[in-house]
Chains A and B, each alone.
Chain A
Amino acid sequence: MLPFFPNPYPGELLDSVLARFHARSGNSHSGQSMKQLIGNEAVLLSYDLPSRIGTLVDRIKHVSELDSDTLIDDHT
């Protein structure tokens, strides 16, 4: 469970949201942020067909209204 998650802007791509997460997280390396977000720092999220959306949505459900469908429809 993540303690915070930036609210996506309309039409913002997922990788931009995740980049903003990293900028705010205070983590020293982006790998650390990826690990927190999807559990694995080696996975590369492609901007058109990102994977592990389920993991991500589950981790941010307390601080975000995003569900998998909205995320795919509006932010990829």
Chain B
Amino acid sequence: MLIQDIRYALRSFRRAPGFTAVALVTLALGIGGTTAIFSIVDGVLLRPLPYSDPGRILRINRVGANGGLDSFSAADYRDLKKDATSFAAISGYRSDIIDMTGRSEPVRIIGMQTTAAFFDVFDAAPLLGRTYHEATDTPGASIAVISEAIWRQQFGANAAVIGTQVRLNGAPTEIIGVVPEFLRHPQKSDVWMLSPFDVPTSPFGVDGNDSRDIHYFSVVARVAHDRQLTEGQQQLRSIGDQIARDHQRNAGSTFNGEPLASSMVADVRTAMLVLLGAVAFVLLIACANVAGLLIARGAARRRELAVRTALGAGRGRLVQQLLTESVVLALVGGALGMLVATWTQQLLISFAPENLPRLADVTLDWRIASFAFAATIVVGMLFGLTPALQSSRPELNADLKEGGRGGTSRTGLRNIMVVAQVALALVLLIGAGLMLTSFSRLRSVDPGFRVTDLVTVELMLPLARFDDTAQRTFYMGVLERLRANPVTANSAMLFPFPFGGGNAQASLSVVGQPAKPPEQRASADLYSVSPGYLQTAGVRLLKGRDFTDHDGPKSTPVVLISESAVKEFGGRDPIGEKIDMGDAFTVIGIVSDARRRSLDTPARAAVYLPYTQFVLPYMGAVVRTDRGAAAVASAVKTAVTQIDRDLPIGDVKTMEQIIEESTGEPRFRSFLIASFAALALLLAAVGVYGLISFTVTQRVPEIGVRLALGASPRQVFRQVIGQGLRLAIIGIIAGLAATAAATTLVRGLLFNTSATDPVVYISLSLLLLAIAALACYVPARRAMRVDPMTALRSE
């Protein structure tokens, strides 16, 4: 029986190609879009990490007295390691940019410095060779593991790579293993180097120290298999609290353990769920649209259903047949939807910001196919059930006589579907309007420096070859050469680049002011800059003087502070005052605020140190020029090679690119929601058009009578348009009410934009009304042209 119903369903769809095409396209877009977004949400939020018992892997955070998260210090880590008995493995790691030399061309790759237990936490079986472990490898062995990608690119997938010696950041190192591509947590890496110490090597050149003040690495751990997760988390807090009691520098701080998978995506969780909700709206609109089509079709099939009833079909039997048709339609739509999902997913990934966590985990596999299948069945039932229930109750006598004509009394349910579509589309439109407004306001934020014509070049140095003096000499040498080149004459050195993730901070303590408790202690963003940086970047000097070449390593330590740091001086003029950052630094100038973390994070207090007095091996050049990034890259490469021919230069990016990347996530989500809203608008327009067109067809005889009785075509036109607009207005009112509730979800994603911005609400409501009027126009024109004679003859 079912097979027969399926066969009839397929045949009836073939015989109604217009209906079938519109329904299938609608369903394919709805199911495909939802599946594509679900695949991203699944990869980013839901999919377990690809390790055994991944729920036991924790990221251990050091929570400061002010609630902020901080990196680990060597001493804190050692205390933790000593007392954490609930864990099978604990490992410190630090992301690093690593120069691999000793082969043909020097290569710069992203890597990690880790302690020996890293692969005890992430227990991935290697593709080749072995990984290092706490039980078998002691700190000091110069060994490293490489990724499958680097093995293929740099070693031609040669199995003989095991045992090969390379130089990593200048240090001779043996490659002991190759790990598969899926090992890219907690962040992507192409080489894992075993630290020579029991903590990762420090970027500040203080290795092997026992300091609690220098926080520079992260920690992951695996809870022992015989312990509960909560037991481990509780123990972390106890150890953190104990350290805070024992050491004044840690007062108020503690440790917490967060499952790694959720910690990686905490920042994007809300946005992802909002996107999933938005695309579910599109799916609902698609369902309402197809339900509307089916109701119309049901009305046209009243004669058929009446005949079937007269021949003995019970209501249940008719519902079964109609539902079979819906599900068959949904299944074909779902199959097309999978194609749409495949393309859409590729499109989304190409548009997705690179820093979207776990993006590489996004795939279309059986999980996604199951989701699409389930969505398809649910959708089939959802849009099929109401029309089926309605159509399966024919008014036999009348339906057999009318033969499927008439039916205007059955447009009520279609009206509801159209109102629902308009309402849902408005929710999406307003959501998109708010996101786009927010994004546009974000992009118009003044970061505090001039963005145009500013090019940055990373110039990282391997610590193994460059001590403090060598670093200083190198950077000064490069800057001197750049300034001598007309292309790069307006250059400076800087660490860190804004919006690049660099995060040096220091607590800001003014000499002579009473000491504050830890939770009230101000911290400041730390910069290391060369003289001339202010002028190159366009940061204004408000008071005092800029650094000069006379501020050398042996002269008085000096700093510039930003406007936001002035309040720490208790109303006194900061110029000439001293701040305590280990040494006492004299304030020589005040500069304008500049944003560093992101455009939507206000500028914090900042302290600028001269690179001659505070040098780090991670500095980079900033160049103001209108000659473009390529010319700058070439000039910097020349300058670097003149000093050290083994040193590659790092990324070359314009500041516009950096800002573009830093706003990638809001841009991505605004783009997606705007796309969904556009699709929703289209579907709603199709829905309104379909209903009005259907009504006009049903009412041709009535319109003929009206015209014969003296109605003008204009009056008929107004009547038809009026019917559509009335529904649209009801939908808009319902949509506004729903939007007011729904936008509370996106409030946290908006920047400088009210979730109830009246301009957005009113303008988009009017836009939707205009589109609805447009959708009514064509059928209304058709109604005007009804020939009364023909209409009445057919009656």
A-B complex is real: no
